[in-house]
Amino acid sequence: MQEMPDHYGVDWMIHFDFQPGDGTRYDLVCTESPYGGLLVIANESSCWRYHRGDRLKFLCGTFNEYTHDAIWNMLEATIEGDY
């Protein structure tokens, strides 16, 4: 995890670069959302809010159901804690 200066109001962020095995590649930047869950920026083309075990909500950018499924599966397998 990379520590951010306090004045940004962000406690932490994490970067994932992964290939789920179907010929695609994803670059994710995740940080805590002030509204609960994690904010996820995918490939600098879409933004999502992730709630562990509950949902991955599309917020803006380019929606793609395969991107949704790849992000959901990776975060469910990787992220621990109450997000």
State pLDDT tens for residues 7-66: 455 567 889 998 988 899 999 999 998 888 999 999 999 999 999 999 999 999 999 999
Q: Which of 81, 71, 10 is nearest to 40 (CA)?
A: 71
Q: How confident is the model at residue 74 (pLDDT cuts 50, 70, 90)?
A: very high
Separation of alpha carbons 7 and 54, rounded Å? 31
Long-range Cβ contacts of 15-20 (<8 Å, 24+ apart): 16/74, 16/78, 18/74, 20/70, 20/73, 20/74
Question: CA–CA separation, 45 vs 14, rounded Å?
Answer: 17
Report pTM: 0.80
What pLDDT is attached to residue 55? Answer: 95
What are the phi and psi torsion angles at 8 (to 5°)?
A: -80, -15
